[in-house]
Chains A and B, each alone.
Chain A
Amino acid sequence: MRERDDDLSQCVEECEIAVTVNGNRHEHTVPVRLLLSDFLRHELHLTGTHVGCEQGVCGCCTVLFNGEAVRACLMFAVQADGMAITTIEGMAGVNSELHPIQQAFREKHGLQCGFCTPGIIMSVHAMLHEHPDPTEEEIRHELSGNLCRCTGYQNIVEAVKLAAERLRLQHMEVE
């Protein structure tokens, strides 16, 4: 027991990290055990990333990590060193227009209490990047990594369909 304590005392307790979040570079010294979710929320004050279970099940803390949807509660802040993260705050500015996914959620009543919403929008963002034209079954399958206790998912599914359609149209216009 004592030996193990001694080993622990030699561990690094803090680390310097540099993370790009929503396009802004942040350099911080963080405890090595600090969760990425807590770093985003309490160090960077990006409180749109929510924490619902701290076990990687509910998906409320989903962020984009180099473009891929990950659970910020299952990662340490130090693992984000040198990486690029997008949170819900990176989807639309305070006064700028809502992102088409956000707009579709509003129009289809895809949120109620709003707690799971940021995580779901980040998951949907990653999903539609991978599969721009998903079937309802694919949408439901992809969404099954995010829990929502209010909506019964029906309007979320409808919102994803609408967002996918609009994003495809937008994409075609750009091309």
Chain B
Amino acid sequence: MATRWFGAPVQRLEDPRLLRGRGNYVDDIDLPEMLHAAVLRSTQARARIVSIDASAAWSLPGVHLVLTAQDLGEVLEPSPLLVPHAALTQPRTQLPLARDTVRYVGEAVALVVADDRYIAEDALDLIDVEYESFPVVHSLEVASITDGPLVHDDVPGNVAAHLAQTVGDPDSVFASAPHVLHETLLIDRGAAMPMECRGIVARWDAQDSMLTCWISTQGPLPIRNGLAAIFHLPEHKVRVVAPDVGGGFGTKIMMFYPEEVLIPFVAMQLGRPVKWIEDRREHFISANQERSQLHEVEYAFDDAGILLAVRDTFLHDTGAYAPYGIIVPIITACTLPGPYRLRHYSSEFTVLYTNKVPVSPYRGAGRPQAVFVMERIMDRIASELHLDRLEVRARNFISPGEFPWDVGLVYQDGGPTKYDSGDYLAGLDKLKVLLDYDTFPALQAQARSEGRYLGIGVGAYVEGTGIGPYEGALVRVESDGRVFVSTGVTTQGQAHITTFAQIVADQLGIAPDDVMVSTGDTQAFNWGVGTYASRAATVAGSAIHIAAVKVREKAKMVAADLFEAAPEDIELADGKVFVRDAPHRALTLGQVAISSNPLRYAYGENARTLMSMKLAGPRPGPALPEERGGPGLEASGFYSPPHGSFASGIHGAIIEVDPVTCNVTFVKYAAVHDCGRVINPMVVEGQVHGGVAQGIGGAFFERLVYDEEGQIINASFMDYLLPTAAEVPSLLVDHVETPSPLNPLGVKGAGEAGVIPVPALFASAIDNALAPFGIRIREMPLHPSRLYELLRDAKDKPAL
């Protein structure tokens, strides 16, 4: 084989189109006769809807439809509970339009369809909703008040779920441990904020009874299945396409957002295509958010800094509904042990409803919180025992010989939290080199003598990735030799079109340029789940590999018959198929594809040349021998992992804190990452860069501030600050590669990794920088004004 594409920094196949401005995002879709929708959202966080008067909206010229809950008929059903769990005793999901109660500011109350979006928004202003407001559950503290206000009248104490898991015997260990400490740690809300907001175009073709929806989503197949059920259509009469998606980061893997039911519903009612595009203000108050948790953690360790046991109890804020059940807090509980040999651990969490935007996974999905907790523990142990922070971590690391390592907990997919492979110490050593760790104390001392506060911080993590249940793919060689690949997962910038093409190219002896990948079109592939949990490369990539291997073997069988040779003597390279010892007499892959379909007619250059070659005629017997498994040079493959694979990493940074302005700048940032075998290093590093930037946002800038009325008071990009090029440093990135033994490619997920350790290392670096003040960070995000308060209240104050 001439070239190996797996592992090469292949330039992205998706780029030429996107760079020319010729992408196809949902809002770029323009259909004849299309109407435009706008959503009226609740202005109240907890209220009863007394009345809705839409008469003025109806009479506005250009308005076609005004919809409230009572108009929805049997479609007025709560969204499905996506991941039920026995501990989730009070599951509540959202209605497409609020019926009589609203539970967060932003909840959909009415929908208008008009000639254009401008008129539709005019009409929203004409709808008169009378609310009777009640006290608001605006925080975890309020949610846990005995006999306090309730988000759902029938959910006592706002408790959606309670789950306790124990590994080993922490109680006895605590009883005899040399050191026991306790921390209260808070992580507040943030949001994914993809640059493209959500959006939907729906078209109902009455003649063909066909519903087509283009949705900016990470999971078109589940939505297709759900819409088919809601509208009583066979699944092949509903097509859901995720076209180009302008970022997702978890917030777009949801079923259903209300609009995903409402827009198809009105398109069917009106018999005209309808478009709804979420604006940024709507995104702030109606797209799912995450992160908010309050941890009480107790931990025991010995004189050598070995962590003996952890008891973590936390509250998790799920917002007004729990569409994803308790996935996020389960991930937190299972991520907390991290790369450490923790044998005695108890985790207990309570999931509380609040009058806030619902919570579902956002890149990292409960992991940044867990890593924040565990890494605060590691830093504290080091500080108590006057040990080096990396040394404490190294002493506690699981060693390479101990894999597979069973943490002892049930993971989010219901399987074991069982680390498949890893080499954490190798990562730590690489980090030391990148950071020039050993010279830092001198650098820090020098800076302090000049009145500057430098600090170094680290954060290590293990990330569950690549969970099941399964994904699948179809690989088909077309008659011109190009290869069509389709899969149910979607892509939102992760370069799947390129990395999937690399996987196929290696098996079929072609270049990635000759592979056409379709992701997220339910008409192109009928089975699968979606892109989440850093699973696309692992699960769909493996399915694609399996399908491509089948196609390769089939090509060998077909060519062997034509060349009167044995299949094992056939080779595929450079788009050609030939007998190993006779490469001069080769078929193109396209010709083999034509020959795989035993028809008496075929078109094109490949077919003409094929006719002129003196090849063996068909063997006696059926035209399509059984062992070929059907006509055409195509195959489907499915991959279902035994359980998740566990990626890992360690990041470190040197920061400088200005104790007057409380601004923090990065002097250096290094990330060492292990996602198993790397398909495309350029792409993986890009994922790490982007994740870290989001992590920096989540650690320093991005906190969604809800007031006591449940209003987000910073719901715009002017007030909720995403980091810009001026704040995010250039990273030094290095890789450790411990292949996963669980899948044929040896890969682990890479999508979420970058974001996970950043709050932890940010806190670690600030503690270190401000050690002369005796500051210890116990909350995230930590914006400059909060840091100012901490410094103001600090006990020790060196002269500035």
Interface residues in chain A, defined as those with a beta carbon under 8 Å from any beta carbon in chain B: 31, 33-34, 41-42, 45-55, 57-58, 60, 87-89, 91-92, 94, 98, 102, 105-107, 109, 111-118, 121, 139-141, 143-157
Contacts and interface: CB of A to CB of B under 8 A. Distances in A.
B717 interface: yes
8 contacts: A47-B30, A52-B197, A89-B22, A92-B20, A106-B12, A115-B194, A144-B724, A148-B725
A155 B689 contact: yes
A155 B692 CA distance: 13
Interface in B442-501: 492-495
B280 A55 contact: yes
Contacts of A94: 20, 22
Interface size range on B against A: 35 or more
A140 B725 contact: yes
B193 A149 contact: yes
Interface stretch (B139-147, B242-250, B299-307, B557-565): B242-250
B716 interface: yes
B800 interface: no
A113 B195 contact: yes
B689 A151 contact: yes
B196 interface: yes
Which 10 A/B pairs are nearest by Cβ-Cβ distance?
Answer: A48-B21, A115-B246, A113-B493, A114-B18, A88-B21, A112-B493, A152-B689, A152-B693, A57-B717, A47-B28
A48 B19 CA distance: 9
A33 to B, nearest CB: 7
Given A109-B12, A149-B249, A114 B23 contact: yes
Contacts of B30: 42, 45, 47
Given A46-B21, A51-B27, A151 B690 contact: yes
A98 B247 contact: no
B613 interface: no
Nearest to A136: B730
A153 B728 contact: yes
Contacts of B118: 31, 33-34
Contacts of B21: 46-49, 87-89, 91, 118
B27 A47 contact: yes
A77 B655 CA distance: 45
Given A109-B683, A153-B689, 19 more contacts: A42-B30, A48-B20, A48-B21, A48-B22, A88-B20, A94-B22, A105-B15, A105-B19, A106-B11, A109-B686, A113-B194, A113-B195, A113-B247, A115-B195, A141-B725, A150-B195, A152-B691, A154-B730, A155-B689
A111 to B, nearest CB: 6
A140 B12 CA distance: 24
B32 to A, nearest CB: 13
B50 interface: no
B167 interface: no
Interface string B18-58: 11111101011010000000000000000000000000000
B230 interface: no
A54 B280 contact: yes
Contacts of B493: 111-114, 150
Chain A contact residues: over half helix, strand or loop, or mixed? loop
B694 interface: yes
B726 interface: yes
Contacts of A147: 195, 717, 722, 724
Contacts of A98: 16, 19-20
Interface in B669-696: 682-683, 685-686, 689-694
Contact of A114 (B14, B249, B689): B14
Contacts of B194: 113, 115, 149
Contact of A52 (B14, B15, B192, B195): B195
Contact of A50 (B193, B196, B245): B196
A102 B495 CA distance: 17
Nearest to A115: B246
Contact of A139 (B247, B689, B725): B725
A57 B686 contact: no
A88 B17 CA distance: 11
B689 A148 contact: no
B690 A152 contact: yes
Interface in B718-742: 718, 722, 724-728, 730-731
Contacts of B682: 109
A166 to B, nearest CB: 15
Contacts of A156: 725
B25 A115 contact: yes
B388 interface: no
Indicate the member of A47, A58, A60, A150 with the most B CB atoms within 10 Å: A150
B725 A143 contact: yes
A55 B197 CA distance: 14
Nearest to A93: B20
A148 B195 contact: yes
